[in-house]
Amino acid sequence: MGIDVGIGMLLLRQRGIWKRLRAAPLSRGILLGSRAISATLISMLILTVVFSVARVAFGVKIEGSMAGFIGVCVAFSLMTAAFGLLIAAVGKTPEATRGLSILVTLLMVMLGGAWVPAFIFPQWLQTVTKFVPTRWAVDGLDAMTWRGQGFDQALAPIGALLLATAIFGALAITRFRWEAEG
């Protein structure tokens, strides 16, 4: 989702649409924020569909706190949207940015423990992955689903994901270029 948001914004900038939007009486923050909110909502919809299918097809249950589960999903969706904004901010062209952002996303997913459980990584790598936002999302979702933990176990993952959201968002806002480079 984040990659699609970022690439989509690069395409809009390349086509001159961002230049037209800038002429509107809206701040940069409002324009970028509206993209972030729409990406967050779409990400939440995707998570809802994925977990609904997991529930029906595989019997996955939320054994822990429902509020914690929703909190982790919202924080993850916000982080995904901010990551998309960051992709748009640092990318020059959609074509060049897509490959690099896919590589970064795949590394985050792998290091986050979504493919291979993080507890089987060497100890040094487990320490490094604490700086990867997807690690916190996986840990939070694990705690709220099959581990059956309470809301208190969702607080650290939510906090880490919101911190990553703030960092990605701040970088995106300060680095976003409104004009397509020639």
The string of pLDDT tens digits covering residues 6-35 is 999 899 888 888 888 878 888 878 888 899
- The confidence score (pLDDT) of residue 139 equals 97
Whether 182 maps to a domain, the answer reads no
What pLDDT digit, counting tens, does each position of 83-110 carry? 999 998 898 889 889 998 999 999 999 9
Instruction: Of 93, 137, 182, give the one whose Cα is nearest residue 101.
Output: 93
- Look at residue 73 and tell me whether its pLDDT is greater than 60: yes
Q: Which residues contact 168 (CB under 8 A, 6 or more apart)?
A: 79, 82, 83, 85, 86
Whether 72 maps to a domain, the answer reads yes
The dihedral region occupied by 59, where left means phi > 0, alpha psi between -120 and 50, and beta the remainder, is left
Location of structure tokens 């909110």:
37
CB 179 within 8 A of CB 13: yes
| More confident: 113 or 27 | 113
Whether 181 maps to a domain, the answer reads no
Whether 144 maps to a domain, the answer reads yes
- At 158, which amino acid appears? I
Tokens read off for 68? 């914690």
Domains held by the chain: number: 1
Whether 48 maps to a domain, the answer reads yes
Location of structure tokens 């809009």:
12
The pLDDT-based confidence of 52 (bands split at 50, 70, 90) is very high
Q: What is the mean pLDDT of the chain?
A: 92
- The confidence score (pLDDT) of residue 134 equals 97
What's the number of CA atoms in the CB half-sphere (13 Å) around residue 137?
23
Whether 58 maps to a domain, the answer reads yes
Whether 50 maps to a domain, the answer reads yes
- At 4, which amino acid appears? D
- The confidence score (pLDDT) of residue 155 equals 98
Per the structure, the complete domain to which residue 53 belongs is given by 2-94+101-175
**Confidence (pTM):** 0.92
* Range 145-152 average pLDDT: 96
Whether 25 maps to a domain, the answer reads yes
3-state secondary structure (DSSP) of residue 86: helix
CB 62 within 8 A of CB 69: yes
